[in-house]
A and B are shown apart, each in its own frame.
Chain A
């Protein structure tokens, strides 16, 4: 049932090359989920998210100082190793400093015909960020039009918005099923859904999601749900870790707060006569990355709501090593969760996860959660 999504994720480069060949369109690599994919779909450009390869590498040391997160270095390594040689362009929307370095180094050393830095505002709690972002989107749209040689009309934007919104809606509908006492999909399968969505043509992805939605309600997993866990924190596409927690330790991730998970798709845009303002509003209103979550910590309220809605019993807080924005939020998150009696386990991730030591820690965490049953 999930093979297609898993294949899309595992064979992302084959997919993109094939898409290019059959569509004759351009492919753009993006570095952060604040990039407005609606405009790219409107321009018939395929946006694919650049994620790491989860393998040790030795090519980024001259380019990124070692105090920056392993994810940003892994991402840059994909460029320097020419894994994305099919890209016609690259783009980033302003978020954290770390991933920005991967983008700028890529721009310097693997130049593409189109490269765009979109100054996505940080102060998303100010209404002025909407008009500012709208103006920036206008410039971005103009740059894309110049690149592709095609004007982007309102009808094109409507099409782009619809493609992306549909994807968000379908993913959310599937994620809603995870509220059930025995969710019909695992956290690992859910992870494949979102990750594959970031690197395939969403029109094809939407069709696959619709077919999945028809089958999922009847699906019964031949495994016990175990402890209902939430996982939250930095970028996370660490499939082996998720698999280990669910298949070896016997718990289930029922929800997440990651930019490779719910933060990517949780809210749709709200129709507006001014399409660019509609898109701007969506990115201003989305569940924020910690880089933009100030002065209030709104993400914290969202996490609490997810815990309640999904019956979460314990939370694994993960953080890419050296990820400052998440490091700045984690003490506040742990304090609130502790106050609510929700146990947390903090783990620091690197390019490869040390599964042996992590297994011991996760099992100890789960045992601690089970102690009431024991005695």
Chain B
């Protein structure tokens, strides 16, 4: 039986994305060889700020590092068991346990031992964020640490006082960075990095918006390898430039009707981080001609969005596109904080309805047939309110399937059960396997 409905072709930038990712981890590991600095913090950290210390300052962001470890079956088990043996509860964030395990067994997936950072530069919105690095510092015998609280409330309620709270912590943080590293903070480098961050995160949103097209030019399994660059180094020129190139390629695919999945007949979205060791779920979906075109997670973990004049969701217009010139550190900090506070994946921390509304928007604008929610035992932050999201989506008339798992601990994922659930969900949507 012929299953090809649309033409497909490989993504030309795939190889470059992989190269950038590997280079990132090697740069961090080798930073000291060239007199550079290493810092550790979350994927949501304000990485534009340490960029003001020089061009030889490299980060290791925690969540993608945890996902990298999770993808390696043997190494991940070794890390998880090491953390558990050290007394840390098995139900804690699995990225965090993997990360600590990497320190405890002193292994770095790119060769050598865990490269100890010179300082920690972390943000805090989920209960685990700052506490994660408290433990990292404990395990490493003390690392200078700066944490910034960003939990100032949802963007719809933003006030100058809320922005100021975060900006003030960052201003103090700049002084702390100078004192801790002995380097002079360069405002020009910082402003350049802020612009890069805004370009990266707006461009990534633009890429995701192209997936409204039928057929979708990208599917979510591929998108994971692309969005990750923003979680690694959103404030770098390389990542911003990469997303500009990617947008051009994806627009071209849409113009030529190139599909990510040639037999697309059902459009889905997922939610929260996937179980990284079982991305085969997405390939299994293709047997039904089902394609996950993304999720609030892949779109909004790093992508920054706004409601356009026609009422649809699109990439947030950067201050540079508005013709605004960024001249001072204070101005750059204020713009950067305001930009980040509008991050879609920060909104549900205050109320699940805010997330349900965004998911419904995606379901409508991306023309979805159903939704697969990953009840992720590995991340309490992004699973927050997920049961209410389910109820809200069902109430709005969208079919919803749930499956329980863990992004970073494969011991908590039942592959057979999940595939059986997929089969039942597809049956309920009225689709049959087409290959």
Measuring CB to CB, which residues of chain A are less than 8 angstroms from any residue of chain B? 62-65, 67-68, 94, 96-98, 100-101, 104-105, 107-108, 117, 119, 121-123, 126, 128-129, 131-132, 135-136, 290-291, 294-295, 297, 321-322, 324-325, 327-332, 334
Contact = CB atoms under 8 A, between A and B. Distances in A.
A97 B87 contact: no
A321 B130 CA distance: 21
Nearest to A139: B159
B380 A132 contact: no
Interface string B338-374: 0000000000011111000000000000000000000
B6 interface: no
Contacts of B72: none
A213 to B, nearest CB: 38
A123 B169 contact: yes
A238 B38 CA distance: 47
B307 interface: no
A119 B147 CA distance: 17
Contact of A65 (B152, B381, B383): B383
Contact of B131 (A97, A98, A328): A328
B380 A295 contact: no
Given A63-B388, A324-B93, 20 more contacts: A62-B390, A67-B377, A67-B380, A94-B151, A97-B380, A97-B381, A100-B384, A108-B388, A117-B153, A117-B350, A121-B165, A123-B149, A126-B172, A131-B164, A131-B165, A135-B162, A294-B134, A295-B147, A324-B127, A325-B127
A332 B87 CA distance: 9
Given A104-B385, A334-B87, A129 B134 contact: no
Interface in B261-312: none
B375 A121 contact: no
Interface string B71-92: 0000000000000001111011
Nearest to B386: A65
Interface residues on B, range: 35 or more
B351 A117 contact: yes
Contact of A328 (B134, B152, B153, B391): B134
A98 B385 CA distance: 9
Nearest to A294: B130
- Chain B's interface: helix, strand, loop or mixed, by majority? mixed
Contacts of A108: 352-353, 388
Given A122-B130, A324-B92, A327-B91, A101 B145 contact: no
A309 to B, nearest CB: 26
A313 to B, nearest CB: 23
Given A294-B147, A295-B147, A327 B89 contact: yes
A128 B171 CA distance: 11
Contact of A104 (B87, B89, B138, B352): B352
B87 A65 contact: no
Nearest to A296: B134
14 contacts: A97-B384, A101-B384, A117-B351, A128-B165, A128-B172, A131-B164, A294-B130, A295-B134, A297-B134, A321-B91, A322-B91, A328-B92, A330-B87, A332-B134
Nearest to B131: A328
Contact of A107 (B165, B351, B391): B351
A290 B89 CA distance: 15
Nearest to B149: A123
B384 A295 contact: no
B161 A135 contact: yes
B148 interface: yes
B395 to A, nearest CB: 11
A128 B162 CA distance: 11
B426 interface: no
A122 B149 contact: yes
B30 to A, nearest CB: 28
A136 B388 CA distance: 27
A332 B386 contact: no
Given A119-B151, A325-B131, A327-B88, A128 B169 contact: yes
A347 to B, nearest CB: 13
A121 B149 contact: yes
Interface in B157-203: 159, 161-162, 164-165, 168-169, 172
Contacts of B151: 94, 119, 121-122
A126 B92 contact: no
A104 B165 contact: no
Given A119-B152, A132-B162, A126 B349 contact: no
A101 B149 contact: no
Q: Max chain B CB contacts within 10 Å: which of A119, A121, A291, A329?
A: A119
B127 A62 contact: no
Interface string B381-417: 1011111101100000000000000000000000000
A226 B67 CA distance: 50
A290 B152 contact: no
B124 interface: yes
A352 to B, nearest CB: 19
B387 A63 contact: yes
B172 to A, nearest CB: 7
